[in-house]
Structure 1
Amino acid sequence: MDAYCYRIAGGDGTRIDPAEALADRCDLVWIHLAQIDQETQDWLRGPAGLDDYIVDALTATETRPRCEAFGDGAFLNLRGRSKEEPDSSDLLASVRIWAVKGRVFSVTRKPLIAVGAVKQEVTAGRIRDPGDLITAFATAITTDLDPDVAELGDQLDDCEEQLDANRVFELRRNVSRVRVAAIAYRRFLSPQRSALEKLAALPGDWLGDDDRLHIAAAADRAARMAEELESIRERSALMHETLSDLRAEQIDGRTLIISIVAMVFLPLTFITGLYGMNVAHLPYAQEPWAFDAIMGVCTTIAVGVVLYFVRRHWFTH
């Protein structure tokens, strides 16, 4: 079982063995499990002594951000960036947290970037109770996600500046990538805001007033990112429509040119086809000036058709 634990007493965080953590009586013990398997579930149900419904919530395969109060504790599910390459359908990894007074259990399936930041807070002595630890998780996750959301907006700004009918396919790929990422992030950030707001309002003496303020601030930051992602999604949709219109205009322009060329050569093709027939008695077929005459007639017709299109402004519409 991949696990590590910290004993926190008087603000000092010391790493200890999981077996020692269960018998420890200090300000706070944080037990983090970095994988979900049968051994982890058995340990949580057995030595850890957690109820089945809490173990099921900590080890569920499919999760979404939420917060639920159970007895004297609270279960919290958050989503953040992982160190591993994300799946195209699931860009954020989950951390499941069970917190009661003096104990915090956290479980991840993938290595979460925010866990490293929380470890630093613990070893630096800035974590003193479960509220501080949960606040550190919420703050680390939102702080890590904020630059990614801003980068999506910058990428979309670049696409808008590069708007060009000759780069439609490239820009559409970039806009689609930004839009998919924005939708995937927003899918979790909106409920994450609600989960943090619910946590900040939960009763319990293990959450201090300062913790509630910090959690509310993290919820507000998640709300701002969710709004930014919604704006990016709407802008991406508008950009996609604009690129489709540019592509349609480009095709229309090319079709117009082809049509004009066809209209110019249509009467010429008729004349040359007529005199190209291998039959007798064609008018003036035996005259020495017949070829020059036919070329003159074709040139006159071509110039006349072109002048007609110019007067009708076909070349500019």
Structure 2
Amino acid sequence: MNGWALSLSSNGAVRSIDPGHACTMPPEGQFTWVHLDGKEAETNRWLQQHGHLPETVVAALTAVETRPRSEAFANGALVNLRGLHPEGDHGGDPLVSIRLWAERGRVISVSFRPLDGFEHLRAAMEDAELHDPGDLISALAILITAKLDPHVADLGDLVDSCEADFDADRAYEMRRLIARARSQAIAYRRFVVPQRQALEGLAIMKTEWLEEADRLHLREAADRFARMGEELEAVRERSALLHEQFTDLRAEQIETRTLVLSVVALVFLPLTFLTGLLGMNVAGIPFAHEPWAFAAVVGMCVAVAAAIAVYFVRAHWFRN
């Protein structure tokens, strides 16, 4: 089975053990963390045969689609959280899920895709910095916020720069940037808001393995998620407003160009009629053999065009 398990003994030593040997509850003062790959069939079988978990918990740990939640059971708690994927892993949702079952002395985590920074959490466990499920879950919540917060801030900075550098000549490029920022904000907010609620619910959950310091860290992470949710909502609304402004700008540009084409067509319409009338190949056209006739026709055309142009100017057709 593709997974690993770490066990913290009562004397503070951490050792790696086979996940198959972690199916029993550790003695008082010890802590075991088992992490499993949800894509493997052995994971579901191990959870059912060796995890000693309720069927609803096994189903929640191996579900393909999840949302952030925290729910108390008789002897433990089910916690689903979402965090960023490592760079280069672009399959599926932008925030990957990690599912945890926590009870006194033991945590079982299941993930289908890698979680950014997860190796730091394992290193903290190997360095004996995590002593119970409360330490592990609160450290995971803080880790997720630390990784996600800069990305949310970058989205806000991107919208700020587009607002400050609003340029009609770069409308196409900036519309693509705004559309990308809005799409990412919507995708992040889908999980950030319920994740805040999940952490707030976990912070007030009545369980013996959550100390006051752990609850404080969970509330701090929930507050950061609340702030990120507000920032993402602002990014979404500001992006929509910028998109509307670019759309209005494009409509104004099309209207201006259409107006210019209409004016040019109206100026040349009587000239085309005049030249077409005089260009008919029939007898009786006046002054057809006079040497000054061509100059007279050209002068007449210029005068007509000037008169029409003066009319458009006085009618304020060129006013924005």
Range into which the TM-score falls when normalised by the shorter chain: over 0.9
Aligned length: 316
Does structure 2 retain, via aligned residues, the 8 Å contact 1:2–1:35?
no
Pairwise mapping of residues 29-68 of structure 1 onto structure 2 (< 5 A)? 29-68=32-71
Displacement of 1:8 = 1.6
Say whether 1:91 aligns with 2:94: yes
Look up the match of 1:15. 16
Normalising by structure 2, what TM-score? 0.94
Distance 2:146 2:8 in 1: 24
Query: What do the CA deviations read for 1:191-244 (whole angstroms, capped 9, x no partner)?
Result: 000000011111011111111111011011111000000000000000001101
| Aligned residue among 254, 265, 269 for 1:266 | 269
What is the one-letter code of the residue matched to 2:312? Answer: F
What is the one-letter code of the residue matched to 1:175? Answer: I
Distance 2:12 2:238 in 1: 47
Distance 1:93 1:280 in 2: 87
Normalising by structure 1, what TM-score? 0.95
Look up the match of 2:199. 196
Does structure 1 retain, via aligned residues, the 8 Å contact 2:2–2:40?
no
Say whether 1:295 aligns with 2:307: no
Pairwise mapping of residues 200-211 of structure 1 onto structure 2 (< 5 A)? 200-211=203-214
Displacement of 1:276 = 1.9
Say whether 1:282 aligns with 2:285: yes
Distance 2:183 2:255 in 1: 30
| Aligned residue among 113, 116, 133 for 2:116 | 113
Look up the match of 1:225. 228
| Aligned residue among 296, 313, 317 for 1:314 | 317
Displacement of 1:161 = 2.3
Displacement of 1:288 = 2.2
Displacement of 1:31 = 0.3
Task: Report which stretch shifted further, 50-59 or 91-100.
Answer: 50-59
Query: What do the CA deviations read for 1:73-108 (whole angstroms, capped 9, x no partner)?
Result: 000101111125334x62111000000000100000
Say whether 1:242 aligns with 2:263: no
Distance 2:206 2:39 in 1: 30
Displacement of 1:12 = 4.1
Q: Which residues of structure 2 form unaligned runs of 5+? A: none
Task: Report which stretch shifted further, 256-265 or 23-32.
Answer: 23-32
Displacement of 1:255 = 1.1
Distance 1:256 1:11 in 2: 80
What is the one-letter code of the residue matched to 2:44? Answer: Q
Look up the match of 1:149. 152
Displacement of 1:34 = 2.6
Look up the match of 1:4. 4
What is the one-letter code of the residue matched to 1:85? Answer: D
Does structure 2 retain, via aligned residues, the 8 Å contact 1:34–1:107?
yes
Displacement of 1:124 = 2.8
Does structure 2 retain, via aligned residues, the 8 Å contact 1:11–1:126?
no
Say whether 1:173 aligns with 2:176: yes
Query: What do the CA deviations read for 1:14-43 (whole angstroms, capped 9, x no partner)?
Result: 322212333443521000113333211001
Distance change (3 Å), C-alpha of 1:196 and 1:263: same
Distance 1:15 1:277 in 2: 101
Query: What do the CA deviations read for 1:48-70 (whole angstroms, capped 9, x no partner)?
Result: 22222111000001111111111
Displacement of 1:275 = 1.4
Displacement of 1:11 = 4.5
Does structure 1 retain, via aligned residues, the 8 Å contact 2:78–2:100?
yes
Identity, in percent, stands at 51
Distance change (3 Å), C-alpha of 1:247 and 1:12: farther
What is the one-letter code of the residue matched to 1:28? Answer: F
Q: Which residues of structure 1 form unaligned runs of 5+? A: none
Following superposition, which runs of at least 4 residues in structure 1 exceed 4 angstroms of deviation? none
Does structure 1 retain, via aligned residues, the 8 Å contact 2:37–2:43?
no
Task: Report which stretch shifted further, 124-133 or 23-32.
Answer: 23-32
What is the one-letter code of the residue matched to 1:173? Answer: R
Query: What do the CA deviations read for 1:94-132 (whole angstroms, capped 9, x no partner)?
Result: 000000000100000001113222112212322111000
Q: State the SS of the aligned residue for 1:160.
A: helix
| Aligned residue among 187, 190, 193 for 2:190 | 187
Does structure 1 retain, via aligned residues, the 8 Å contact 2:83–2:148?
yes
